[in-house]
Structure 1
Amino acid sequence: MKHLLLLCCVVVAGLSSVSRVEAQANTVFPWPFTGQGDRNVGAAFASRSQVIAQHGMAATSVPLASQIALDILKQGGNAVDAAIAANAALGVMEPTGNGIGGDLFAIIWDPKSRKLYGLNASGRSPMGLTKAMLEDELRQRGVDKIPPFGVLPVSVPGTVDGWYDMHNRFGRLKMRDILAPAITYAREGFPVSQLVAHYISMARDRYLDPEAGVEETDNFVQTYLPGGEPPAEGQIFRNPDLARSLEKIAEGGRDVFYEGEIAEVIDAYMRRLGGYLRKEDLAAHRSEWVEPVSVTYRGYDVFELPPNGQGIAALQQLNILEGFDLRSMGHNSPDYLHVHVEAKKLAFEDRARFYADPEFYKVPLEKLLSKEYAAERRKLISMDRAMTDVDYADPEILEDGDTIYLTVADKDGMMVSLIQSNFRGMGSGLVPDGLGFMLQDRGELFALETGHPNDYAPGKRPFHTIIPAFIMKDGRPIMSFGLMGGGMQPQGHAQIISNIIDFGMNVQEAGDAARYRHDGSSQPTGEHMSDGGVLNVESGVPMPVVEALRAKGHKVRVGKGGFGGYQAILWDAEQGVYKGASEMRKDGLVAGY
């Protein structure tokens, strides 16, 4: 009996100790234990091995969504079916990064036609809001920029139309079967992850702040704050309104969203709040199939989508970097980081001046992506000193929120690179009555400068930050990948490509390696860089490197956050397998079978 009592005391003490550790971990205090474990093989900094599978693979930012994508593949669906299913599920499970109130872009490799297809499913500004009316609204509010929240930055949501365009062209299963898992999780609930719980808490503070200017917040509270509070990690969260909306879309198709019941609810809601988005704007919406554009980087063809997105900034940066021997510099060395950041500054000057809706402005793509233009811009880089003030070039003289990214590959070789977002935060803060999703605030990214390619106009697509990517070689697919995070995305794409091509990292190591993020470049909304901006680096960059960068004139900050979220699937033709990676900075999971 004495030994039994002693054992019970030890067990209770142990449980109490565990409880104390868990309680301490859930406070603002650091863990009592620090340091990273050691890997037996591969790069020491890698969080895990790359995932390898033969028949199909999915990589998303939420583990349950990755499993849904795999289930769709195993039911006979293809990569497009699985990508739509995962995207719908992410709108339920990660509403802080995406949803059917936002926009979508995709690059699809079709093995039958052996061709890459690009889809721009971004929405346009309301036809009933002229620039003069917008400027008058801003004067009444005492501001000179389009606000991030409320009715003014709301543009037409393009996601649902994008789903149906992809499905009509490539889909195999019925849409009701594709959307069924998301509908079930929305109705029955799912356990909220640590990161999403954190982001919903941030959204609560953001939208309920009286200074935020959100015209109506009761619907946000009712939809996303059960009991008036953000859901905690592990709490079962339900969104029955979104389940009903997805059911209507599954049965009624894209027309129920753009011309039917959902469009009518959005119209009535915006009228009540004094907004401008109307049913007619939704009915007039169309997605656009576009040709992906590319540059060669050390023998590989890197593809992005053309503007109104920012994907070609990554291509411009790579064109400039190709003239440097990055491998001999060493990964994340002072010279390596310096030329990467300087190339980014140059590319972002063009991004600020020339990237806009091609229906309103003829973007000089061929000239911006030429090797000759890159060579001229490269001459502006000094190895000794960081640039503080950069001008865009005149191309006629020469002959820049929160997002989800996912990628899926199937047994037939189809690969989908898809990115989707509501833009800043969860979006505008506005949740139409009974629909269960938030409208995006992408219209904040218009300029208000007469003559600027991205100047606001009715029925125009704003400059866009979300960009999917794809790599080919010798006409064969190599890798589908993306990296979330506003202006981080092009410079993140360049880093991933450099990690793999210049340094031979596998897809997981390429994502786990410490990153940089340069902020403060000139913007498509009119701001101009005059002080060199700020170079943010993760703590994995050694302090001697940080000091060497400061000696070159960079303003360097070290810390976590804002470095994006990455997923990738690589096709290894020699071994006949997919190799996948997910993001340690998010809740992501890559899985295959």
Structure 2
Amino acid sequence: APILTASEGVAKIFAPGGRPMPAGATFRNAELAETLSWLAEDGARLFLDGDVGQAIVAQSLDLGGYLTAEDLRRYRVERREPLYWRHAGASVALNPPPAASGALIAYGLAYLEALAEAGRALDAMALRAAMEATNQARATHGEGLAARLAGGVLAKEMREAARQPASYRGTTHVSVIDADGNAASVSLSNGEGNGTIVGNFGFMLNNMLGEEDLATDGLHAWREGTRLSSMMAPTIILQSDGTVTALGTGGSNRIRTAILQVAVNLLDHDMSLEAAVEAPRLHVERDGAISFEPGLPEAVQAEFLSLEEKAHAWPERNLFFGGVHATRRRPKGGVEGAGDPRRRGVASIV
């Protein structure tokens, strides 16, 4: 709420009358609508050297920022091939580097495969082990994790680990599949925004350098010319029988664990799309702290709670665990969708 009232321009759009709009109110942003119309006509040059670009640079200078017109002109969109990972007979298309999310989800899937080979059931305890192992891999291998996965370097390490005794914001996602089976999985985020409207164009710049997971050294330590990584993980699953599933979620560092669990529910437990999305989730932080929703087996919950200060049992499903919005098309044309109730998601077939 403070960001939505941080300046007169922002408050005019998001908090008319000085308070954020209540649930059920109709939101209108005529300035943004006009900006989008101009964008459709002028394309990227509107932001590179047009009126919007000039307003962005002016705001940055006024607020003591470092963004220049040359920065905008030098920006190039990078088109990258997905990071593909095979799991349970399906090809899972993930967000590639420099985004960290795809490699972390692939590592989690690979670790679960190693657990299955070692005779472990893919239950909540296995998910916890996979999340802990993924946290460790991220700390150990960093940006090199995807390359080491692709090269098979970590396979032996994971198989050995799997044989050990078991032990203990603002992102939006849309998944679409059309009648021809074309699938799109789109995640986007502006963070909370920077609290100031750009000119009279109806939008705020993002505040992603304040995301500790992405800018670990602090917002003033970002290196010039370096692309910002992301925890967003738009995902598409291609199964051998022709089934196509598009999914994704918001949720900061819980994004990868939410996607991992829904993918396992679909591919390893053969759940319906709705059941896979609504099933109870857990999340393990880097320090080993575990959070979990109700609905897990009582014995599992008891073991988690034995961790005392490192365990948090949520009383009900919560948006903390992400909001996975998914759609799936079967080989014969049947389409289904599931919006995550944790984030008031909706599904629509038209």
Paired residue for 2:239? 473
Name the count of aligned residue pairs: 339
Paired residue for 1:564? 322
Match of 1:348 among 102, 127, 135: 135
Match of 1:433 among 180, 199, 215: 199
Quick one: distance in 2 between partners of 1:582 and 1:264?
Answer: 39
**1:501-520 maps to which residues of 2 (within 5 A)?**
501-519=267-285
1:588 is displaced (CA, Å) by 2.1
Q: Is the 8 A contact 2:249 2:255 kept in 1?
A: yes
Quick one: distance in 1 between partners of 2:134 and 2:121?
Answer: 23
Q: Is the 8 A contact 1:431 1:438 kept in 2?
A: yes
Paired residue for 1:389? none
**Structure 2 residue 51 is matched with structure 1 residue 283:** no
Quick one: distance in 2 between partners of 1:475 and 1:294?
Answer: 17
Q: Is the 8 A contact 2:131 2:283 kept in 1?
A: no
Q: Is the 8 A contact 2:4 2:20 kept in 1?
A: no
> Over residues 246-303 of structure 1, what are the superposed CA-to-partner deviations in whole Å (9 max), with x where a residue is unaligned?
1221222121122200001111111111111122212221211111112211211112
1:346 is displaced (CA, Å) by 2.1
Quick one: distance in 2 between partners of 1:564 and 1:374?
Answer: 29
Q: Is the 8 A contact 1:537 1:558 kept in 2?
A: yes
Quick one: distance in 2 between partners of 1:364 and 1:513?
Answer: 29
Quick one: distance in 1 between partners of 2:27 and 2:328?
Answer: 34
Q: Secondary structure at the match of 2:343?
A: coil
Paired residue for 2:341? 584
Paired residue for 2:179? 411
Quick one: distance in 2 between partners of 1:551 and 1:488?
Answer: 22
Quick one: distance in 1 between partners of 2:136 and 2:10?
Answer: 37
Quick one: distance in 2 between partners of 1:542 and 1:385?
Answer: 17
Match of 2:124 among 321, 332, 337: 337
Q: Is the 8 A contact 1:483 1:492 kept in 2?
A: yes
Q: Secondary structure at the match of 1:536?
A: strand
**1:135-534 maps to which residues of 2 (within 5 A)?**
204-205=1-2, 217-309=7-99, 310-325=101-116, 336-352=123-139, 354-356=141-143, 363=144, 365-371=146-152, 373-380=154-161, 382-386=164-168, 401-423=169-191, 426-444=192-210, 445-448=214-217, 456-474=222-240, 476=242, 478-519=244-285, 521=286, 529=287, 532=288, 534=289
Q: TM-score, normalised by structure 1?
A: 0.53
1:338 is displaced (CA, Å) by 2.4
Quick one: distance in 1 between partners of 2:278 and 2:310?
Answer: 24
1:572 is displaced (CA, Å) by 0.9
Quick one: distance in 2 between partners of 1:584 and 1:279?
Answer: 42
> Over residues 205-255 of structure 1, what are the superposed CA-to-partner deviations in whole Å (9 max), with x where a residue is unaligned?
4666xxxxxxx6332222211111111112222212212211221222121
Q: Secondary structure at the match of 1:351?
A: helix
Paired residue for 1:74? none
Q: Secondary structure at the match of 1:324?
A: helix
**Structure 1 gaps, min length 5:** 1-203, 209-215, 357-362, 387-400, 450-454, 522-528
**1:45-84 maps to which residues of 2 (within 5 A)?**
none
Q: Is the 8 A contact 1:303 1:469 kept in 2?
A: yes
Q: Aligned partner of 1:467: which letter?
A: A
Quick one: distance in 1 between partners of 2:34 and 2:140?
Answer: 43
Change (3 A) 1:431 1:274: same
Q: Aligned partner of 1:538: which letter?
A: E
**1:16-55 maps to which residues of 2 (within 5 A)?**
none
Quick one: distance in 2 between partners of 1:440 and 1:380?
Answer: 40
Quick one: distance in 2 between partners of 1:353 and 1:306?
Answer: 19
**Structure 2 gaps, min length 5:** none
1:368 is displaced (CA, Å) by 2.5
**1:105-116 maps to which residues of 2 (within 5 A)?**
none
Change (3 A) 1:353 1:437: farther
**Structure 2 residue 291 is matched with structure 1 residue 536:** yes
Q: Is the 8 A contact 1:301 1:473 kept in 2?
A: yes
Quick one: distance in 2 between partners of 1:322 and 1:510?
Answer: 19
Quick one: distance in 2 between partners of 1:281 and 1:292?
Answer: 27
Q: Is the 8 A contact 1:442 1:464 kept in 2?
A: no
Q: Is the 8 A contact 1:384 1:552 kept in 2?
A: no
1:511 is displaced (CA, Å) by 0.2
Quick one: distance in 1 between partners of 2:55 and 2:133?
Answer: 45
Quick one: distance in 2 between partners of 1:344 and 1:553?
Answer: 19
Q: Aligned partner of 1:583: which letter?
A: D
**Structure 2 residue 302 is matched with structure 1 residue 547:** yes
Q: Aligned partner of 2:215: which letter?
A: F
RMSD: 2.6
1:342 is displaced (CA, Å) by 2.2
Quick one: distance in 2 between partners of 1:543 and 1:298?
Answer: 28
**1:78-93 maps to which residues of 2 (within 5 A)?**
none
> Over residues 169-221 of structure 1, what are the superposed CA-to-partner deviations in whole Å (9 max), with x where a residue is unaligned?
xxxxxxxxxxxxxxxxxxxxxxxxxxxxxxxxxxx24666xxxxxxx633222
Q: Is the 8 A contact 2:290 2:311 kept in 1?
A: yes
Change (3 A) 1:355 1:252: farther
1:569 is displaced (CA, Å) by 1.8
Change (3 A) 1:491 1:371: farther
Q: Is the 8 A contact 1:258 1:283 kept in 2?
A: yes
1:458 is displaced (CA, Å) by 0.4
Q: Per chain length, whose mean CA-contact separation is higher, i.e. which structure has more relative contact order (CA < 8 Å, sep 6+)? A: 1
1:537 is displaced (CA, Å) by 0.8
